[in-house]
Amino acid sequence: MTRRKTHRFLQNAESTNVIEVGKPLYKTIRGRWRQDYFKNDHKIVLELACGKGEYTVGLAQAFPNINFIGVDIKGDRIARGSQTAQKLGLENVAFLRTDINFLTEFFELAEVDEIWITFPDPQPRPRQEKHRLTHPRFLAIYKSLLSPNGTLHLKTDSPSLFAYSLEKVREFGFVNLQFTTDLYNSQLNDIHLGIKTKYEAMFYNLGFTINYLQCKTGAI
């Protein structure tokens, strides 16, 4: 392990906005994010595979009355988002260090209002399909955690992943689907508030278009 990673792991251990193994809330937070962490009744929004938390932090700045949680397994990445949020004085941000496969261990049924999936690994090979974050096994998790009429968002620069995702959300019964293959030149552009991750900005400046979809769970 490099000295830099060691430093970031120590930062996580000392940061109150990081929930990870070894901290008391790690085993008790399920169903209690509002009561035990945020201390309010505001909506909860997740960013999955959040990386450095650029989108989580950007949304939290834009919507101070909504709670945002970035989820990622990489501690060194989460540390960057955690430290940025602290420097900005954002109290509506948390980071959860866990594998997305284990989301149901940390969130109760219908506890979440929105989920963002921003530029996930497209896992392009057929044998990698089960690892795509819009595979039916993940969609089942999202649908169980989202509130009635909860919203799922996806942004990706991968046309193949986007086509796959459109097919799967339709098959899985998500409703009110809206999508575009060129976000920044579409009527849906305002939804993302101009927030770009480092790699999104790089790809966009190279001429790649950004694919976006949003859909809802529907009423129960």
18-43 tens-digit pLDDT:
999 999 999 999 999 999 999 999 99
Torsion angle of the four alpha carbons 148, 99, 179, 136, in this order, in degrees rounded to the nearest 10: -70
Domain containing residue 91: 3-216
| Residue 40 amino acid letter | N
Q: What is the mean pLDDT of each run of 10 residues along the chain (220 residues)?
A: 76 94 96 98 97 94 97 94 97 97 97 96 95 97 96 95 97 96 90 78 84 88
Q: How does DSSP assign 53-106, residue by residue?
A: -HHHHHHHHH-TTSEEEEEES-HHHHHHHHHHHHHTT-SSEEEEES-GGGGGGT
Write down the pLDDT at residue 6: 82
Write down the pLDDT at residue 197: 80
**Consecutive H or E run containing 2:** none
Instruction: Name the catalytic one among 41, 99, 113, 121.
Output: 121
Q: How far is CA 49 from the centre of its chain?
A: 6
What is the Cα–Cα distance from 30 to 184, expressed in whole angstroms?
36
Q: Which residue has the tokens 């993302």?
A: 192
List, in order, residues 6 or more apart from 194 with CB less than 8 Å away: none
In the structure encoding, which two tokens stand for residue 208, read together? 């790649």
Per the annotation, the verdict on 76 as an active-site residue is no
For the chain, strand residue ranges (E) read: 18-19, 44-48, 67-72, 93-97, 112-118, 146-156, 175-180, 211-216
Write down the pLDDT at residue 44: 98
CATH of the domain at 98: 3.40.50.150
| Domain total of the chain | 1
Write down the pLDDT at residue 192: 72
